[in-house]
Structure 1
Amino acid sequence: MIRMLVVDDHDVVRSGLTGLLAAELGMEVVGQAADGPAALTEAGRLHPDVALLDVDLPGLDGIAVADRLARTLPSCRTLMLTALDRPGHLRRALAAGASGYLLKSTPAAQIADAVRRIAAGGRAIDPRMRGEERATPSPLTEKEAEALRLAAAGAHSREIAADLFLSVGTVRNRLSSAIGKLHARTLVDAVRIATHHGWL
């Protein structure tokens, strides 16, 4: 029996996936979570074989959850199930230790097949994303990406500085460096470019 944890912040998607997978032979959904921190808590409590993770989760994104699980609970393999078909997200997910990456438009039978393959130690990449594992790596440092992520969420330099325990000058330097590396005209343009490539 493959024991699964289903993680998605949309109730309808989460319950729909749970129903579809629970109907599959040899599969059991042992838990659900609606955000990143809850996913880690439930995985630690339930020790599932496979965690289905949305990329865009509140609290802690699915890729960060996959990374934590790979380090703290290696027996739990992860399958990203997302609406985001950005190459950068796929590359980051695989680098974080995810065993699969499927788009949410994937038919239920194919999701179930992917879960079986991953539980058996294999890998499952959406055919529409094949070859994208070698997507262009981000030119940003992790610190620049972190500052840009906060700016994308609407934080101003002072708020970012407070969040990261940095001086306002350091934050402005990081954002300026990010804008330059992305060949962007403005901060808004930099956020758009980085988001499009899945670098945030």
Structure 2
Amino acid sequence: MGSLTRAYEAVFHGLDRILGGWFLGLAARFVFAAVLFLYFINSAFTKVGDGLFGFFHVSVGAYAQILPKMMEAVSYNTAEIAFFPYKLIVYVGTYMEFILPILIVLGLFTRLAALGMIGFIVIMTYTDIYGHDVGADTIGSLFNDNPSSLIADQRTLWVFVMLVLVLKGPGFISLDYLFGRWSRR
């Protein structure tokens, strides 16, 4: 049994040495790109106007998605929303939903972008639960026999992918790594 344990440890420690510097970060960024990138980008596009310059115009939909109860209270009239802090929150939230996913996929400022995405997911979850009044079925719960709740289960996995990037970095195949090598020269 002792030699089997040593062989087992040798194989997996060897894999960790070979893959440790690049694989986890690249894998986490690949999973993010494959599963979540288009979700966040498409969601961000619902918050801006149409056309070439529409990107620079935050839509009423952005306010309704980010500040749902406040928008309902002012009959969806954005002129009645104070710039600070509410319009600022909407603008920052809208454009961070574009910027952070792009940074993660490119592997640029990855740890900071992943930390920002964790904050974004937490705020998004709070808004969904308390702002949009989603039901218990949608919220779900952890440690049950149903792994498909839209909030508790899925967003826990999203945050886990982001935590891998915060803790391990983007890996060798990233702009962070290239710029780091360039700056050390």
**Alignment TM-score > 0.5, same fold:** no
Larger RCO (alpha carbons 8 Å, 6+ apart): 2
Q: TM-score, normalised by structure 2?
A: 0.30
Q: TM-score, normalised by structure 1?
A: 0.29
